[in-house]
């Protein structure tokens, strides 16, 4: 019997949409893990892709974490090896030279929240709930959650959420900077695609440099980060995109960036 399709990739012009479709809660099972890995390999090869959107199927869940009943199988190779596979995929999303948007259409818990944290931007349906409730099972997040959460919202608030396992609403997440935008019920993917379309028309090299500088620069002393920024400024002055942007501005026309 052929393997069911639980992760799907659709490419709409220069925007890729990954949908995790593993009912009832889009849990991170072995099937999801292997198919997501394969799809991200396809994304790597798609040279014309300018933006990536990740969402969950249905209206209940983005990804409601791991399937606890699937844990024994996932742990056969040991927690480090199992987590490393996910962490490599999440690191790719974080380091990819294109913007990655999470369209949160429902619960984003545990590994699902960690997946969202690995994305650059998060757009949440107003009924979404997010959290890292691993502590309630005697666990800790192991797919980058403790580190990305603290870097995103600050140590104190991250510790509060990690210690208590509290699941918060979309509005609460917006207040603490965990999501970028809250939209009406059922509109997360639509709004994410609108933003993706806008970004896909933007200066791809500039966005790639900005993403890299934010990700890497915050880990460096300020003077080192400023020097890295200047190195990227020098490089971007040699790009076709900059010349196109300047010409478009002078001639009062929309720019047509080529991502080079």
Helix (H, G, I), strand (E, B) or coil at 45: helix
Sheet holding 167-169, edge to edge: 61-63, 107-109, 129-131, 167-169
Neighbours of 151 (CB within 10 A): 15
Select which of 81, 94, 95, 114 is catalytic. Answer: 114
How far does Cα 106 stand from its chain's mean position? 15
Backbone angles phi, psi at 126, to 5 degrees: -60, -20
Distance CA(46)–CA(82), nearest Å, equals 27
Do residues 183 and 124 touch, judged by C-beta distance below 8 A? Answer: yes
Which value, in Å, is the radius of gyration of the alpha carbons in the chain? 19
134 given a catalytic annotation: yes
Residue 1 pairs in a beta bridge with none
Q: Out of 134, 172, 190, 191, which one is annotated catalytic?
A: 134
Residue 176: its H or E element? none
Q: Using CA atoms, how far apart are residues 151 and 134, in angstroms rounded to an integer?
A: 19
Distance CA 207, CA 73 (A): 40
CA distance 78 to 243: 52
Does the annotation count 13 as an active-site position? no
Catalytically active residues are 114, 134
């Amino acid at each position: 019997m052929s393997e069911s399709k639980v992760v799907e990739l659709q490419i709409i012009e220069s925007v890729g949409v990954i949908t995790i479709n593993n009912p009832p809660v889009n849990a991170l099972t072995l099937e999801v893990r292997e198919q997501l890995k394969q799809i991200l390999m396809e994304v790597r090869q798609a040279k014309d892709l300018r933006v990536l959107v990740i969402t969950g199927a249905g209206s209940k869940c983005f990804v409601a974490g791991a399937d606890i009943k699937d844990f024994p199988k996932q742990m056969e190779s040991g927690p480090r090896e199992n987590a490393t596979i996910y962490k490599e995929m999440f690191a790719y999303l974080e380091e990819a030279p294109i913007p990655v948007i999470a369209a949160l259409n429902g619960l984003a818990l545990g590994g699902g929240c960690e997946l969202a944290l690995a994305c650059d931007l998060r757009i949440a349906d107003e009924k979404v709930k997010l959290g890292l409730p691993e502590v309630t099972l005697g666990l800790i997040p192991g797919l980058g959650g403790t580190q990305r959460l603290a870097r995103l919202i600050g140590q104190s608030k991250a510790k509060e959420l990690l210690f208590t396992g509290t699941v918060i609403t979309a509005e609460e997440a917006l207040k603490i900077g965990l999501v970028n935008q809250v939209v009406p019920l059922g509109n997360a993917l639509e709004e994410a695609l609108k933003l993706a379309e806008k970004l896909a028309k933007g200066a791809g090299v500039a966005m790639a440099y900005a993403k890299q500088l934010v990700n890497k620069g915050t880990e460096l002393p300020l003077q080192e980060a400023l020097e890295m920024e200047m190195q990227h400024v020098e490089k971007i002055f040699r790009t076709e995109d900059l010349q196109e942007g300047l010409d478009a501005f002078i001639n009062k026309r929309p720019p047509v960036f080529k991502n080079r």
